[in-house]
Amino acid sequence: MFMGWKLLSLAPESYGRAALARFCERAQEVERAAHAPVSPQNWGASPRQPQVPAAGAWEVTGSGHYFEISRRYIWPHQPMPGRAAELQIICNVESSKEVNAVVSRLRFRFRPINVTVASLVLGLFTKQPKGALVEVEAMMFSKEPGGLDDEAALIPHAEDMPKLLRALTASQPLEFLLAVPMPPEREPYLGDKAQFLAGTTLDNDQQFKTLYETAIENVWVCQDATRVRQLAEGWYRRRTPGVNFQ
């Protein structure tokens, strides 16, 4: 962050140093939150009684060129009758359009939540640390027709997905947090406190890594079979139109 200020000359060097100091302070806040997790949005729960979510089993659906691996984490405290706080992690493994690569996509679903911003900050990392704090697109929706939009689909940018997958495949407990980002246009914004929506420790073991690697291998096998069939039928499409390879 400091180098960005210095190289791009976007602001005085003091701003860069202040941003770096703020980043270190925020890292310490995350570390403290990891040892004392809170339930989402502090829904009436005492901070002395951490609400750790219960982890369900990893579920796998799909076959051939597409697999979906998902898991639900449910908080024991219910912020409203019949509506437990819930986080769902969903990983899709599928063939690219040209059937020459395997693509992994990651998304999250979180409820209940009530925000008006289009993006949030999501953290997923181990103690090493592996993982990252990333910006995610937040799309609000409701499961029930005519109901309140109290659930969010959280979609990371493509370049951030490998960082999050690295944390998931580490086979170690994960620190999860969700926050509203600080507005960069405000002056001085470095002194603002982030609005944390959730923060806790998630159970994570070898199972996701095994399922993820198996799904990738199965897609590769399916792609190999597809290419063999295409070559046998003589209709494999040239990837670079107008170029003849001698």
Q: Are 78 and 85 in contact (CB under 8 A)?
A: yes
Q: What's the total number of domains in the chain?
A: 1
- Gyration radius of the chain's alpha carbons: 22
Summarised one tens digit per residue, pLDDT across range 154-188 is: 999 999 999 999 999 999 999 998 888 876 665 55
Give the whole-angstrom CA distance, residue 5 versus residue 19. 9
Cα dihedral across residues 207, 213, 216, 217: positive or negative: negative
Give the whole-angstrom CA distance, residue 196 versus residue 112. 14
- Give the domain range for residue 193: 36-233
* Domain contains 10: no
What is residue 45's predicted lDDT score, i.e. its pLDDT?
38
pTM greater than the 0.85 cutoff: no
What is residue 70's predicted lDDT score, i.e. its pLDDT?
97
* Domain contains 177: yes
Q: What is the pLDDT along the chain (246 residues), one digit of tens a residue?
A: 444 334 334 445 555 555 555 555 655 665 555 444 444 444 333 344 456 788 999 999 999 999 999 999 998 765 555 567 889 999 999 998 877 789 999 999 998 887 888 889 999 989 878 888 899 999 988 766 655 667 889 999 999 999 999 999 999 999 998 888 876 665 554 555 667 888 889 999 999 999 999 999 999 999 888 878 777 777 666 566 555 545
* Domain contains 43: yes
- Which two structure tokens, joined as six digits, stand for 217? 């291998």
What is residue 142's predicted lDDT score, i.e. its pLDDT?
74
